[in-house]
Structure 1
């Protein structure tokens, strides 16, 4: 049993739970239990929540402290929907890494090219900048301690006029913001690789401990 609590780690679109391995290792060294599931990221958001909820409940039953959440990219939207629809009993603090809280212009482009279903699957609608009202409502309001870490270094130094600057190559810093957040931090990291960055990991664990970066 972990008195310090546990951390649910939710990966991004196109990734697996193993992509959060460095975060998980650091969390366990800090005394947390961890769960990093391979959730079905190509399914609609409601299906993802239904898949996750019983697994999160079983995980939470294995320790006595709060359940914190750290997410990457799409995982942030999944966490918001999970908390809104099937909230953990002892929810603690939440850290989102590069969450497309206001959507991504790259997803918009895929819809215009009629490639969204192929590339994004059923999760596509929630990644658009112009979400349907029902999709936005499913994300709920931020009524829990939330810290967000954004990056401002694209992986490839090529101009992406579709993305408002500054951005991390996939999500603009402006898009990461959401009403109700407690703290926001920008680091010189890229979208894809930020989950492996020591500065990101240290900042995420600091927020879980102190409620600030």
Structure 2
């Protein structure tokens, strides 16, 4: 995100919230501070956007690097082989979310 903010049409494609995201000090995520509630984070490790993936450090889902999905104070963090745009429809992601909401933890051994 940080590298794309200055490109013409970025806000049109990403929407107004895209300008508030990123890793710079003034970005909304950096201003939130540590989680003070039970937080489970699922990161994706597959990409269908090879161009954006070249701009992201390390493993990513085509939009967000795995390293940038971690939040201070989180209870759990898992990485699943899913892409950013289709994560919410993935059966394994849905099962993991249900598990975290019901039991307060992700299912072990299901990745």
TM > 0.5 fold call: yes
1:108 paired with 2:2, answer yes
Match of 1:149 in 2: 42
CA distances 1:56-109 after superposition (whole Å, capped 9, x unpaired): xxxxxxxxxxxxxxxxxxxxxxxxxxxxxxxxxxxxxxxxxxxxxxxxxxx223
- Tell me which residue corresponds to 1:162: 55
More helix by share: 1
Unmatched runs of 5 consecutive residues or more in structure 2: 107-111
> Which structure has the greater CA radius of gyration?
1
Structure 1 residues 117, 133: closer, same or farther in 2, change over 3 A?
closer
Unaligned segments of structure 1, at least 5 residues = 1-106
Aligned equivalents of 1:156 and 1:180: distance in 2?
A: 30
- Secondary structure of residue in 2 paired with 1:209: helix
Q: Is the 8 A contact 1:152 1:187 kept in 2?
A: yes
Q: Could you tell me which residue of structure 2 aligns to residue 129 of structure 1? A: 23
More strand by share: 1
CA RMSD of aligned residues (A): 2.3
Aligned length: 106
1:185 aligns with 2:78: yes
Q: Could you tell me whether the CA contact under 8 Å between 1:125 and 1:131 is conserved in 2?
A: no
| 1:174 pairs with 2:67 | yes
Give the secondary-structure state (helix, strand or coil) at the position aligned to 1:160: helix
